[in-house]
C-alpha cells in the first residue's frame, strides 16, 4: 500500500481512503482501483511533460475563469484588478508555475500560459469550453504537470502549528495584515502568508 499512499498524498483534498480511515465503511479495493487508474493518468501526463502541453491554444474565460486566492501560492503581481486574493491570473516567471498552481487548486481543470500587456502570465479555468487557437499561447489539463509535482501548501508551511494555519491567519477577511492574534516578534503576515519560494 505504500505506493498507493504516496500517490494519495499528492492529490488535492479529498484524498484517497484506506481501511485505516475513520468514518463510513468504504470499499477499499474499489477506491484503490480508481486511485491506480488516476495515478496511471498522472504518470502518463508527467512522463509526457512538456509534450502534454497544447501549443498555440488558449482557453478563454467562457464563464469558466477560476477566481481564487492565488496570493497564498506566491502570486503578487499581474492579478485581476491587482487583487491576488481573488484572481484567475498572475505574472509568473515560468510555465511550470501554471501547472503547479493548477494541480494545487481543487477546482482547477486547465491552465493557460501566455502574454498580456507584455508580461508572461498564468490563467486558471474550471473547464475548457473557451478553447481556441492562439499564436504563442500554451494550455494544459490539470494532469499536465512536471514530474514530481505535488500539492503546494498555502503560505509558508514553516509558520504553522496546531491552531495556526493559512485559513485562520491569512484569509482576506482578516484584512491586509491578516489575523493579529497569529503574529508575534518572530511570525508575521509577510513571513507566513507568502510561500518561501517565488513562482
Q: Is 45 exposed, middle or buried (0-12, 13-18, 19+ CB in 10 A)?
A: buried
Percent of residues, the chain, with pLDDT higher than 70: 76
Categorize the per-residue pLDDT at 49 as very low, low, confident or very high, splitting at 50, 70 and 90.
very high
CB 188 within 8 A of CB 180: no
Q: Is the pLDDT of residue 17 over 60?
A: no
pLDDT, greater one: 32 or 51? 51
As a whole number, the mean pLDDT across the chain is 83
Q: Is the pLDDT of residue 6 over 50?
A: no
pLDDT tens digits, one per residue of 181-196: 999 989 999 999 999 8
Residue 101's pLDDT is: 97
Q: Is the pLDDT of residue 3 over 50?
A: no
What radius of gyration, in Å, describes the C-alpha atoms of the chain? 18
Residue 16's pLDDT is: 53
Which range among 43-52, 150-159, 172-181 shows the weakest confidence by mean pLDDT?
43-52
pLDDT tens digits, one per residue of 95-154: 999 999 999 999 999 999 999 999 999 999 999 998 999 999 999 999 999 999 999 999
The β-bridge partners of 112 are: 123, 139
pTM (two decimals): 0.74
Cα 187 from chain centroid? 24
Residue 139's pLDDT is: 97
Q: Is the pLDDT of residue 73 over 80?
A: yes
Q: Which secondary structure element, helix H or strand E, spans residue 137, and what is its range?
A: strand 131-141
Amino acid at each position: 500500500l505504500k505506493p498507493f499512499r504516496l500517490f494519495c498524498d499528492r492529490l488535492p483534498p479529498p484524498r484517497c481512503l484506506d481501511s485505516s480511515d475513520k468514518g463510513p465503511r468504504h470499499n477499499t479495493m474499489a477506491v484503490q482501483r480508481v486511485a491506480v487508474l488516476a495515478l496511471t493518468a498522472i504518470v502518463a501526463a508527467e512522463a509526457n511533460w512538456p509534450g502534454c502541453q497544447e501549443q498555440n491554444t488558449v482557453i478563454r474565460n467562457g464563464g469558466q475563469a477560476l477566481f481564487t486566492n492565488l496570493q497564498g501560492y506566491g502570486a503578487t503581481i499581474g492579478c485581476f484588478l491587482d487583487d491576488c486574493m481573488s484572481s484567475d491570473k498572475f505574472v509568473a516567471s515560468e510555465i511550470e508555475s501554471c501547472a503547479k498552481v493548477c494541480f494545487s487548486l481543487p477546482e482547477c481543470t486547465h491552465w493557460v500560459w501566455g502574454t498580456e500587456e507584455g508580461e508572461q502570465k498564468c490563467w486558471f479555468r474550471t473547464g475548457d469550453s473557451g478553447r481556441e487557437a492562439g499564436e504563442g499561447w500554451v494550455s494544459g489539463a490539470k494532469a499536465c504537470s512536471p514530474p514530481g509535482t505535488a500539492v503546494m501548501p498555502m503560505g509558508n508551511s514553516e509558520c504553522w502549528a496546531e491552531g495556526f494555519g493559512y485559513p485562520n491567519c491569512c484569509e482576506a477577511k482578516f484584512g491586509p495584515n491578516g489575523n493579529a492574534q497569529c503574529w508575534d516578534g518572530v511570525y508575521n503576515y509577510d513571513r507566513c502568508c507568502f510561500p518561501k519560494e517565488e513562482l
